[in-house]
Amino acid sequence: MSRQVPAERWQAFVTVAAVSKTEKVLLACRSRAVQRQYEVAVAKLGGKPENLIFRILKGPSPRRD
């Protein structure tokens, strides 16, 4: 079963791809799966995945109330 990417993340992909064409972009993620989503999406959207810098956050996810 594949999970759909949230609409908010797609908008982030578009923004990050545009910025990555000319700048380095620092992204904080909670998982390597999300990191991979960014890498693939940025490449497909014409950005430069080599300009992405990732930091994987440890610990529990913040609660949504």
The whole-angstrom separation of Cα 47 and Cα 19 is: 8
The whole-angstrom separation of Cα 44 and Cα 38 is: 10
For residue 59, pLDDT over 50 is answered with yes
Residue holding tokens 């995945």?
49
Q: What is the pLDDT of residue 5?
A: 84
Q: What is the pLDDT of residues 6-53, one digit of tens each?
A: 899 999 999 999 999 999 999 999 999 999 999 999 999 999 999 999
8 A C-beta contact, residue 51 and residue 25: yes
Band of residue 58 on the pLDDT scale cut at 50, 70, 90: confident
CA-based angle 51:5:42, to the nearest 5?
A: 20
pTM of the model: 0.81
The whole-angstrom separation of Cα 3 and Cα 28 is: 20
